[in-house]
């Protein structure tokens, strides 16, 4: 019987589902320093306003804030440094071809632990207009009302 792979969410970008249409998702590793891993395990990471870009055949995560580790010494990391994401070359090629299209970008959806490794789930997204957001809110409200009616 195969073992279930445990994933523990550390941080989820909840704003992403409200602000963007998610087209495709990918799982990526991330290159971190030791104190960054310890801070992430404590949950001191912020994905708001972070995005990924492709530069020279590599994927980089920008403006992701990982707070300094409390017990760190002079070797603490820079909280806002760019971090390299680890993907297969064919995945990078697919991302690059998609992002060339107008209006598409790459954002992180969540950071999680998988077999004690820090992973980032990134997505190719397209921004929503205001009327799209209102439509989604109306659908959620309608669904909630239907669930209440079924429940009672």
The per-residue pLDDT for range 135-145, each reduced to its tens digit, is 888 888 889 98
Examine residue 19 and state whether it is found in any structural domain, yes or no: yes
Domain of 131, in residue numbers: 7-151
Q: Are 17 and 35 in contact (CB under 8 A)?
A: no
Q: Are 76 and 69 in contact (CB under 8 A)?
A: yes
CB count, 10 Å around CB of 18?
A: 12
Domain total for the chain? 1
Q: Which CATH number does the domain housing residue 141 bear?
A: 2.40.280.10
Tokens of 13: 């970008």
pLDDT tens per residue, range 1-43: 566 678 888 888 888 888 888 998 999 999 988 888 888 888 8
Examine residue 1 and state whether it is found in any structural domain, yes or no: no
How much of the chain, in percent, has pLDDT values that exceed 70? Answer: 96
């Amino acid at each position: 019987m195969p073992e279930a792979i445990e994933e523990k969410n550390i941080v989820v970008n909840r704003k992403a589902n409200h602000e963007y249409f998610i087209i495709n998702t990918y799982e990526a590793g991330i290159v971190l320093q030791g104190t960054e891993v310890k801070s992430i395990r404590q949950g001191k990471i912020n994905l708001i306003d972070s995005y990924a870009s492709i530069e020279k055949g590599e994927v980089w995560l920008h403006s992701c804030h990982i707070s300094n580790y409390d017990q760190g010494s002079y070797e603490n990391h820079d909280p806002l440094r760019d971090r390299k994401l680890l993907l297969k070359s064919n995945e990078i090629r697919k991302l690059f071809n998609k992002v060339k299209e107008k209006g598409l970008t790459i954002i992180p959806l969540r950071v999680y632990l998988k077999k004690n490794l820090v992973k980032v789930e990134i997505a190719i997204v397209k921004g929503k207009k205001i009327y799209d957001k209102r439509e989604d809110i109306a659908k959620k409200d309608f669904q909630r009302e239907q669930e209440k009616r079924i429940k009672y």
